[in-house]
């Protein structure tokens, strides 16, 4: 059964991306469309979105207590069954950052994403879309769940079922209580049973309360967020709604992250695959050269003659506390002392960026750091590293461990969330027939260092390392698996009642 889906996300790769949300919103709708579903994706038109190839589909006005705002709806060419639509409002979305600038969140984010949610629903009406499921993502789209239950309940659009995917509970869209009146939200819902959160307005809580179903990006995380350790204060309402909460592990774009057909990599295509891991050595040497790291194998490691270089430990990601960057910073001197090379790529909180740059200055020729986002370099680090480090404090799903598995960079991860679901610990010194990586439990430097020592020991056993690499590269994390689970979830929602075939268009709408 084909399903009509309206997919809302504040970022969609390749047009906009700050992390995993963009990857998911770029990949999942496309796979659903390939499987025969009718999908329309709506996202802001940021300054990063190229204007070439876009077609204007219409304009609309939205009325809020803070004023009347206009928007244009543009469309980009997409594949069959998939429409890619952009909400264009220069004042709100043509800024240097998506959510923040120089580490400071925009003060009007509540207006910007209330506007986006309402504009997306109005655009669906204007274009005559009639979704059976409205799939929301993160706090930036959550007011749409409330609007569909209140402002749109008498319309055809209001008959659609809503699914909210929680990608990271640490980001909740919390604003002062005065934003309730400024946005025209119902004051009677400003309560613990509604969208009130410790005296403030929580966009995310509004979505959790009013969506028909909830999902997270891994089965383990679905359980974790119902605990005080991982729930960020929302564990109570999530427990209350646990009967409609489901964990679905994210997939990955296997074509984009294929080691055997990737223009970003140094290895010849034919020499880098799970059948032939020889091409990884060319990627490793290229990575050392890219960061001007010493290639001479250290004397302290008892390496066989065939191993003519030191082990490389890589990390790519946001430099924030969630990612365990304090553990990374603590482990780098230990890795250097053990003779390893370390490459870190990412961007995040200024004090973390400065700390990593200081590490590179402290250990020239042994530690390489790049502050910023570079898609090609991300591929090169994954392909050139022997081991990929993700000591996350919490990790809803994580995608880099999937990429590292695909590229044969053995993941060293903390056993939380999607990391626990996607990596099988090697157990003994040489692993077993199912192992794909190295895991540790405690969020502490001693526990992380113990896991890294296991990696160092494994590097000295080339046959065991290559066997583990081949198993890792053979893992199947394609989006097809996740898409099938979302299909089942959509259909279960529609078993009660589905919307009809058509709805009149609308040029304007009121805030919920």
Q: Are strands 82-88 and 200-202 parallel, antiparallel or unpaired?
A: unpaired
User: Mean per-residue pLDDT for 374-396?
Assistant: 94
Q: What pLDDT does 163 receive?
A: 98
pLDDT of 19-33, one tens digit each?
Answer: 789 989 999 999 999
Judge whether residue 507 has pLDDT over 50: no
Question: Are 444 and 425 in contact, with CB atoms under 8 Å apart?
Answer: no
pLDDT mean across residues, the chain: 91
User: Mean per-residue pLDDT for 86-112?
Assistant: 94
User: 223 CB contacts (<8 Å, ≥6 apart)?
Assistant: 247
Q: Are strands 196-197 and 200-202 parallel, antiparallel or unpaired?
A: antiparallel
Question: Are 106 and 92 in contact, with CB atoms under 8 Å apart?
Answer: no
DSSP string across 113-158: HHHHHHHHHHHHHHTT---SEEEEESGGGTHHHHHHHTTSTTSSGG
% of the chain exceeding 70 in pLDDT: 93
Judge whether residue 54 has pLDDT over 60: yes
Tell me which of 320 and 507 has the higher pLDDT: 320
Query: What is the homologous superfamily of the domain 4-250+479-510 according to CATH?
Result: Glycogen Phosphorylase B; (3.40.50.2000)
Is the N-terminal amide bond of 357 cis, ω within 30° of 0? no
pLDDT of 178-236, one tens digit each?
Answer: 999 999 999 999 999 999 999 999 999 999 999 999 999 999 999 999 999 999 999 99
Please tell me the distance from the alpha carbon of residue 365 to that of residue 293, in angstroms, as a whole number: 4
Judge whether residue 85 has pLDDT over 70: yes
Locate the domains of the chain by residue range: 4-250+479-510, 269-473
Confidence of residue 434 (pLDDT cuts 50, 70, 90): confident
Q: What pLDDT does 270 receive?
A: 54
Q: What pLDDT does 300 receive?
A: 46
pLDDT of 439-451, one tens digit each?
Answer: 999 999 999 999 9
Q: CA-CA distances (angstroms) from residue 144 to 68, 78, 151, 158? A: 18, 24, 10, 10
- Among 6-20, 268-282, 438-452, the range scoring the smallest mean pLDDT is 268-282
User: 369 CB contacts (<8 Å, ≥6 apart)?
Assistant: 343, 344, 345, 356, 357, 359, 360
Query: What is the homologous superfamily of the domain 269-473 according to CATH?
Result: Glycogen Phosphorylase B; (3.40.50.2000)
Question: Are 427 and 415 in contact, with CB atoms under 8 Å apart?
Answer: no
Cα distance between the two ends of the chain = 32
Total residues found in the chain within this entry: 512
Confidence of residue 511 (pLDDT cuts 50, 70, 90): very low
Judge whether residue 18 has pLDDT over 70: yes
DSSP three-state, residue 312:
strand
Judge whether residue 282 has pLDDT over 90: no
Question: Are 202 and 174 in contact, with CB atoms under 8 Å apart?
Answer: yes
Q: CA-CA distances (angstroms) from residue 421 to 26, 84, 442? A: 22, 31, 17
Question: Are 228 and 235 in contact, with CB atoms under 8 Å apart?
Answer: yes
| Segment (H or E) for 316 | strand 312-319
Angle (CA) 77-488-158 rounded to 5° is 65
Confidence of residue 306 (pLDDT cuts 50, 70, 90): very low
Judge whether residue 375 has pLDDT over 90: no
Q: Are strands 38-44 and 82-88 parallel, antiparallel or unpaired?
A: parallel
Choose among 162, 38, 201, 64: nearest CA to 119: 64
pLDDT of 140-177, one tens digit each?
Answer: 999 999 999 988 888 889 899 999 999 999 999 999 99
pLDDT of 345-371, one tens digit each?
Answer: 999 899 999 999 999 999 999 999 999
DSSP string across 96-118: SSSSEETTEE-TTHHHHHHHHHH
Choose among 430, 494, 488: nearest CA to 458: 430
For 96, other C-beta atoms within 10 Å of its C-beta total 9
User: Mean per-residue pLDDT for 34-62?
Assistant: 95
DSSP string across 21-87: HHHHHHHHHHHHHHTT-EEEEEEE--TTS--TTEEEEEEEEEEETTEEEEEEEEEE---TTEEEEEE
User: Mean per-residue pLDDT for 96-112?
Assistant: 93
Asked if 4-250+479-510 and 269-473 have one fold, the answer is yes
Please tell me the distance from the alpha carbon of residue 336 to that of residue 202, in angstroms, as a whole number: 44
pTM: 0.88
Angle (CA) 428-430-433 rounded to 5° is 90
């Amino acid at each position: 059964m084909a399903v009509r889906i309206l997919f809302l996300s504040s970022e969609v790769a390749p047009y906009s991306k700050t992390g995993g949300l963009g990857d998911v919103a770029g990949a999942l709708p496309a796979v659903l469309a390939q499987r025969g579903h009718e999908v329309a994706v709506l996202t802001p038109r940021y300054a990063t979105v190229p204007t070439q190839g876009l077609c204007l589909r219409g304009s609309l006005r939205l009325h809020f207590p803070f004023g009347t705002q206009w928007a244009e709806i543009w469309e980009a060419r997409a594949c069959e069954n998939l429409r890619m639509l952009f909400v264009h409002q220069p004042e709100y979305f043509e800024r240097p950052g998506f959510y923040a600038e120089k580490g400071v969140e925009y003060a009007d984010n509540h207006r910007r994403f209330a506007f986006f949610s309402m504009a997306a629903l109005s655009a669906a009406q204007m274009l005559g879309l009639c979704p059976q499921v409205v799939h929301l993502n993160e706090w930036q789209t959550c007011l749409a769940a409330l609007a569909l239950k209140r402002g749109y309940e008498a319309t055809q659009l209001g008959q659609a079922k809503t699914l909210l995917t929680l990608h990271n509970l640490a980001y909740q869209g919390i604003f002062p209580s005065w934003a309730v009146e400024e946005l025209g939200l119902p004051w009677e819902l400003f309560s613990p049973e509604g969208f009130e959160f410790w005296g403030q307005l929580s966009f995310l809580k509004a979505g959790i309360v009013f969506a028909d179903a909830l999902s997270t990006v891994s089965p383990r995380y679905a359980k974790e967020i119902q605990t005080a350790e991982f729930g960020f204060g929302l564990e109570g309402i999530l427990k209350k709604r646990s009967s409609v909460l489901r964990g679905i592990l994210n997939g990955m774009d296997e074509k984009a992250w294929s080691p055997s057909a990737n223009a970003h990599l140094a290895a010849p295509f034919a020499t880098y695959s799970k059948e032939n891991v020889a091409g990884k050595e060319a990627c490793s040497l290229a990575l050392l050269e890219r960061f001007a790291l010493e290639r001479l194998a250290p004397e302290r490691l008892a390496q066989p003659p065939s191993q003519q270089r030191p082990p490389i430990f890589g990390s790519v990601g946001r430099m924030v506390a969630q990612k365990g960057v304090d553990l990374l910073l603590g482990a780098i001197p230990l890795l250097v002392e053990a003779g390893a090379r370390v490459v870190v790529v990412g961007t995040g909180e200024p004090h973390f960026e400065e700390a990593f740059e200081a590490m590179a200055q402290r250990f020239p020729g042994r530690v390489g750091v790049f502050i910023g986002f570079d898609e090609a370099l991300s591929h090169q680090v994954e392909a050139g590293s022997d081991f990929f480090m993700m000591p996350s404090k919490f990790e809803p799903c994580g995608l880099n461990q999937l990429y590292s598995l695909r590229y044969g960079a053995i993941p060293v991860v903390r056993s939380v969330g999607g990391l626990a679901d996607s990596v099988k610990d090697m157990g003994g010194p040489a692993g077993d027939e199912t192992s794909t990586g190295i895991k540790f439990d405690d969020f502490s430097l001693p526990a992380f260092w113990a896991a890294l020592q296991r990696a160092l020991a494994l590097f000295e056993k080339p046959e065991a390392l290559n066997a583990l690499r081949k198993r890792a590269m053979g893992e199947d994390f394609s989006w097809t698996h996740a898409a099938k689970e979302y299909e089942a979830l959509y259909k279960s929602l529609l078993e009660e009642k589905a919307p009809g075939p058509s709805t009149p268009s609308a040029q304007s709408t009121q805030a919920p």
